[in-house]
Structure 1
Amino acid sequence: MCPERTDVDDPRRRSVLRASLAAAITGSTAGCASILDVDDANGGDRTVSEGASIEGGAFAALRDGRVVAVAAGIGGAAFDPTATATPVQDALDAVDAVGGGRVYLPPTTVTEAGPVRPHPNTGLYGCGMNVSVIHVRSSGTDGVRFDRDESVQRVALDGFELRGPGVRKDTGVAIHYVDATDDPANDPADVHVGRLYCRQWGNSVLRVEEGVGPFQCRYDFLRADDCDAGAAGALLDWRSEYGPANHFGTVVAYPNARASGAPTTVLRQAGGELAFEDVSVGGTAGTLVEQTDGRLRAGRLHWEPESQPATPEALVRLAGSGVTHVADVVVDTGTVPYVYELASGFGNKHLVPPGATRGTVTGNVVRVNGRGERGSRSWYYGVRDDVTVSLGVPNEGRLRVLGDAGVGLA
């Protein structure tokens, strides 16, 4: 459990933070008004032209390995990782104390003792996914944790690596949303993840717990290497029944099974509205999608395991009546009995047959393993021979195989 940091909300604490920030500006960043300003020889401010050598200010603080906070009215302040166990959180607390702002990571590794807990209207930016690193070394500790009892909106995370303590340790979750408010309107919203690289987590990379529904969040590029979620629910584990309008651009994952000995399920969905443009996985990836409910739109799902600790029953396993569209599944390597499986209670599924594959499908493209939801329809845009109906499942017309339906015009 991570204790709530309530001290920053105390007016006296805010006053101390402002004073500390002012001192840091004077002593650590040479009075910079922004990360693009430095003092000239005459004591005035000047804007650095492109290509100019910067000897002072926030750039120098970043070069020297400090975490820099920038907010309106206070300029910048530098936090030395050798002087505090929580430099990133300290910087976020500082900009929150004056209404929000940005925190910049240096082009090196910064060790953080506890989870990073974003505030509203704050951004955390690095110098690149393989350049800036936040290393959470403590066992059982999350990387980024949304657990405040206030509405946390308009948060940005971009351009850094979020590193855990190693898959053989008891790690927390890389990005963790927990139920902390009584009003769903106060759930996290408008979280924007640009390019984020997660490594060495022995747990989920993203988890949304029951009772919390992040909404209108966007993840442009999320990569996970050297992670093992074989003993967890999934690499991306959406346990909540709700959470509208969440979008993922590109997801790349190469999990391993060094700790669990089991394949990693990529996505488990119990609800919410999720859209994925492109998912590409290798390593010890197992099932691509395990859905019990919710709405899902998946563009391209590329499965290319390098080893298989166990063989999944199917790559995309769907249940529930939430509208689901799967446009493309690529079985590039590995062996699997079925590409799709429709479980009991399925409805409103739209499935496109996979193209030519280099992997091996030993059974069929689709297996219907339970009765569809009464009054619903699902569609498979392939031929009848692609579908296997398990023994005991009645033909009630709830899966429509379209085959060559339609009128050919060209």
Structure 2
Amino acid sequence: MSESVFSTYWYRVAKLKPALRDSTRVSRHIYRGQVWYVLSNSLTGQNLRFNAAAYRLIGQMSGQLSVEEIWDNAGRIDPDSHPGQDEMIRLLIKLHDANLIQSDILPSTEKLLSKSGTSTSNWKQRTANPFSVRFPLCDPDRFLEKWSHIVAPLLSRGAFVAWLLIMLTALVAAGINWVDLVENATVDRLLSINNLALLWMTYPVVKVLHELGHAFAVKKWGGEVHEMGIMLLALTPIPYLDATASGAFTEKRQRIAVAAMGMMVELLIAALALFVWLNVGTGFVSALAYNVMLIGGVSTVLFNGNPLLRYDGYYILADQVEIPNLAQRSSQYFGYLVQRYLLASPAAESPVTAPGEKGWFLGYGPLSLCYRIFVLFGLIWLVSDKFFIIGVLIAIWGVISLLLLPAGRS
């Protein structure tokens, strides 16, 4: 055993007897033929993914064995993949930061376990992007539990068939009336003060229904939702709901269904709004219905449903191709290439863990960046002629979110 296996901080953790908290849930997932274990905190919804080697350590954390005993046992079971003591400490830090384990620890050890460079306070995480700040307001789980049996028929296979029929009818109606639809989508009309005010008031209402779609889908398969609040997106109040508990679902189709449910709700609302718009004269109701169509239809195609942006479509793609954290790991792979081949760093570590991932990493990162830049310049072009200051603000937001924040995180 080489000297690098040992750590100068080992004495601080060796005698601890960690145990998984009662709120910690463990689920076994298969990604690209490999076994992974997802540990989730049922109170916060936070999920962490570990390979089989790491779980051989975590699975022994019952409060009966010390860290040193757990580490020694792992070495006897599989000497070839025996982790170093620093790696064991990093594992403890990760579990501790996510509140997945508990143990009687000394203040000096608490400081060690809380010094992870990747760990930040909840407030810092929520305000990391000044153009997208989250304010949690309530725990909706009891409300969702109360109403889930009433909503359940809307999440059945029969309801899905009905949804498909409505979508097909709406597509046919949109095709027949396409000229009228396009004639109403002029820049001057869409960006008029009255219409912008109507959009500003309508958007949060549609998004509440979108988020409730996610939430009731989580409840359908036994998950919990403990956070709901308001997100200020470019100073526009938008409701959000933490549905990350679905990440612990063992079946891929369930995770995909949760991610898709919000878009399905929006598309249904957009279809119903189309039928209203086709059957009323000009006026407030017509304008409202048209804006609902834009929010639920166009924004779903360009933003929520597009896998190149980190919204619902992205999570559907990541689950479908069985590559969790696709965007983050794609960025990490390009960082690895720089360290490995430009800087010749011997410590460079590839995020590739399964066959076929490399191609996705090489393709997704550049395509995602190009599409985000395309959307950014499209928004600037759309509004700058009529609202120059807003165009400048969008440009600043783009520079911060696309360049400065990713560079700071890396």
Q: TM-score, normalised by structure 2?
A: 0.21
Q: Which structure has greater helix proportion?
A: 2
Q: Which has the higher contact order (CA 8 A, sep 6+)?
A: 2
Q: Which structure has greater strand proportion?
A: 1
